[in-house]
């Protein structure tokens, strides 16, 4: 099962990057890091399809069985870097693929608007977004951001387990459908 995670933060030292690093190590998941994979602003022009980083982004997601997306919440929504990355993608990158969502907030009641914002965009890309989602606050990190507190780790574990379950079911149903239609 090939799961790709997107770190939707443009910050090189942000909490979203720390979260995706923790998840990547624990679950052996490859991460597309938008603080490293620098993308131009989407303008819809055909020549952007030739840009190497756009091709890398598309290739990673096209070949994924499932996707995890993590973003900081900026002004009540996902990061601009993540929305811009989504604009370079299409339904072929998300259709029939389970997607898990995480938001990293500055604390308080943050994060939920970023999750809702991602759901709206991913619905337009035909993603199968899981109903379970997790918001990570600064107090959820331990050891300078190298780990998560026990309760939060439990929530993330549950999200990843559900993603794997839905991915297996989705793959099985797609194989059965393909076999019955040929």
Q: How, if at all, do strands 66-72 and 98-104 pair?
A: parallel
- Note the helical H segments in the chain: 15-27, 52-62, 80-87, 91-94, 112-124, 150-180
CATH of the domain at 139: 3.40.50.360
3-state helix, strand and coil shares in percent for the chain, rounded to the nearest 5: 50, 20, 30
Burial class from Cβ neighbours inside 10 Å (0-12, 13-18, 19+) for residue 67 reads buried
Contact 53, 38 (CB under 8 A): yes
pLDDT tens digits, residue range 58-112?
999 999 999 999 999 999 999 999 999 999 999 999 998 999 999 999 877 689 9
- The domain in which residue 116 lies consists of 3-180
Residue 131: alpha-carbon gap to chain centroid: 14
* Calpha distance 166→164 (Å, rounded): 6
| Residue 155: per-residue pLDDT | 97
Torsion angles phi and psi, residue 135, rounded to 5: -105, 130
Q: How far apart are CA 123 and CA 161, in angstroms?
A: 22
Global pTM value: 0.94
Give the pLDDT confidence of 117-161 residue by residue, as tens digits.
Answer: 999 999 999 999 999 999 999 999 998 888 999 999 999 999 999
Q: How many domains does the chain have?
A: 1
- pLDDT exceeds cutoff 90 at 178: no
The whole-number pLDDT of residue 180 equals 81
Segment 8-53, tens digit of pLDDT: 999 998 999 999 999 999 999 999 999 999 999 999 999 999 999 9
The pLDDT of residue 9: 96
């Amino acid at each position: 099962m090939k799961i790709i995670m997107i770190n939707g933060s443009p910050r090189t030292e942000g909490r979203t990057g720390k979260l995706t690093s923790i998840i990547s190590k624990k679950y052996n998941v490859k991460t597309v890091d938008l603080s490293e994979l620098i993308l131009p602003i989407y303008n819809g022009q055909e020549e952007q399809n030739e840009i190497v980083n756009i091709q890398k982004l598309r290739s990673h997601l096209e070949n994924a069985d499932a996707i995890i997306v993590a973003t900081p919440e900026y002004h009540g929504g996902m990061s601009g870097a993540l929305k811009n990355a989504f604009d370079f993608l299409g339904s072929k990158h998300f259709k029939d693929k389970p997607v898990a969502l995480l938001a990293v907030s500055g604390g308080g009641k943050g994060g939920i608007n970023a999750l809702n914002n991602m759901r709206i965009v991913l619905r337009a890309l035909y993603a199968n977004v899981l109903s379970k989602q997790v918001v990570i606050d600064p107090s959820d990190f331990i050891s300078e951001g190298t780990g998560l507190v026990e309760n939060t780790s439990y929530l993330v574990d549950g999200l990843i387990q559900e993603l794997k379950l839905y991915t297996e079911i989705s793959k099985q149903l797609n194989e059965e459908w393909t076999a019955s239609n040929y």
